[in-house]
A and B are shown apart, each in its own frame.
Chain A
Amino acid sequence: MAKPKLAIYWAASCGGCDIAILDIEEKILDVAEFFDLVFWPCAMDFKYADVEAMEDKSITLTLFNGAIRSDENYRIAQLLRKKSVVLCAFGSCASEGCIPGLANLCNLDSILDYAYIKSPSVNNSNKIIPQTKTKVPEGELTIPRLWNTVRTLPQVVDVDYIIPGCPPQSDQIIEVLTTIIDILKNDKPLPEKGTVLGATDKSVCDECTRERDIKKITKFIRPYEIIPDPDLCLLEQGIVCLGPATRSGCGAKCVLAGAPCRGCYGKPQNIRDQGAKMISALASVIDSTDPEEIERIIRTVPDPIGTFYRFSLADSMLRRVQI
């Protein structure tokens, strides 16, 4: 019997998800042995035409990382959806926009203007901004059109499963791939569509072993301002930690190492907006019942939008800044 086919693709992403897949070390050999790797631009030379030539639903599993912010990203998302039986949004970019999603804080014009003209490291006296089509003596060059709003994979195509994380932790990737191989080998039923794989339903606080009191605070501080107590909850020490608004599955690695959770595993089960959840969490640690003092304390939250939605702005309920 022919091997099941596996595809791995990157759209608007940093490449960290592809590296995370390689970080499963020798387990990658099991994957390579079980699957026929038919498409993985980061690691092997395949062309889009190769995928287009495949029969529909001929790829058993596609791990899609990266957000959707160009015509090319969108075209390949649609193509892989058509060719795949199971399409997984792999990593934070695909599932919630992640760092590329922070482009939704501006619009396309201002991004191009800064990147190609205003940025201090750019010398572009002719004010050249990339065009989708450019005539050169040899013919016409084209590049994909960039979008004004960054989208997540589930916003643009039908997605079967979500594997969160920036990047997903290697132990979780091993777990997910082993489970999938087991399912396919032994003809077991697939998990319910829409399931979040490689994570739990609870929040990072659930995995965090730091002690929680009912201590309240009168000021938010940045991590460099104090040496945090190694055993106490960071939020109760005044450091904005996104643990209460973030899905667990990472093992609370950052928090246990003394760095606040930044929220890369996305919103927990049944939470619709990471920022909304974080507002509620912060409101419950503020020690004041005086409106003026409350106003003063909340003004000490560093960069609320960039902190609460560092990974999930494109998937937030309001999606983008209104410009």
Chain B
Amino acid sequence: MTNFEPKILGILCNWCSYTGADLAGTARMKYPANMRSVRVMCSGRVDPGFIFDALRAGADGVLVCGCHPGDCHYHEGNYKCMRRIPLTKILLEDMGIDPRRLRLEWVSASEGARFQQVVTEFTEELRALGPLKLRELNFDPDHPAGGDNHVAVESAAHDELEAGH
């Protein structure tokens, strides 16, 4: 897995985390270029569907960042996010996807260094987890049955039965 570069979708809130990421940039702090960022107005805007969509589209991990609890620009948006993410993680785990591929972090507008650290850590964690491959996501008309095709062979048990006749 030496050449594997994880793809991360970062969903950052406009008021704190995106500004924090911007600060990391203007302060020329270096962090891995594995994250693509999407700015949303609030971490409370992050529907779990966005996360599933990112994983479907080929992301190896999703990073959601919002204002620290108590600091939300809209008072309680980040609390909504705080309640959604753990449930989303449970669902991912049930779906057979490592819940560590979804990460929630609070990053304020002044925490450029923290943003740098979060992205660096998450990139390394995903690198260790390896690429996310979702099996049989889309229907393939060339292999409609999917899986290890249920091969038409006569089982040993059948042979035994026939021998008994």
Please indicate the chain B residues that have their CB under 8 angstroms from the CB of A289 in the complex: 69, 76, 79, 82
Interface residues of A in 160-195 (CB under 8 A from B): none
Selecting from B15-23, B111-119, B148-156, the interface stretch reads B148-156
Interface residues of B in 56-111 (CB under 8 A from A): 56, 69, 76, 79-80, 82-84, 86-88, 90-91, 94-97
Please indicate the chain A residues that have their CB under 8 angstroms from the CB of B136 in the complex: 148-149, 319-320
Please indicate the chain B residues that have their CB under 8 angstroms from the CB of A320 in the complex: 95, 135-136
Contact B153 A131 (CB under 8 A): yes
Is A2's beta carbon under 8 Å from chain B?
no
Contact A131 B52 (CB under 8 A): no
Interface residues of A in 271-301 (CB under 8 A from B): 271-273, 275-277, 279-280, 282-284, 286, 288-289, 291, 294-295, 298-299, 301
- A322 CA to B131 CA, complexed, in Å: 13
Known: A128-B155, A155-B139. A298 touches B83 (CB 8 A): yes
- A277 CA to B84 CA, complexed, in Å: 10
Selecting from B2-10, B26-34, B121-129, B157-165, the interface stretch reads B157-165
Is A145's beta carbon under 8 Å from chain B?
yes
Chain A, interface SS category: mixed
Please indicate the chain B residues that have their CB under 8 angstroms from the CB of A145 in the complex: 145, 149-150, 152
Contact A322 B97 (CB under 8 A): yes
Please indicate the chain A residues that have their CB under 8 angstroms from the CB of B87 in the complex: 279, 282-283, 298, 301, 304
- A137 CA to B158 CA, complexed, in Å: 13
Using CB atoms, name the residue of chain A closest to B96: A322
Is A107's beta carbon under 8 Å from chain B?
yes
Contact B147 A318 (CB under 8 A): no
Known: A298-B86, A318-B134. A308 touches B146 (CB 8 A): no
Q: Which 10 A-B pairs have the closest CB atoms?
A: A148-B147, A322-B96, A276-B49, A283-B83, A305-B94, A276-B48, A317-B52, A148-B146, A126-B157, A132-B152
Apart from A109-B147, A147-B145: 6 A-B pairs, beta carbons within 8 A: A108-B147, A134-B158, A149-B147, A276-B88, A279-B88, A322-B97
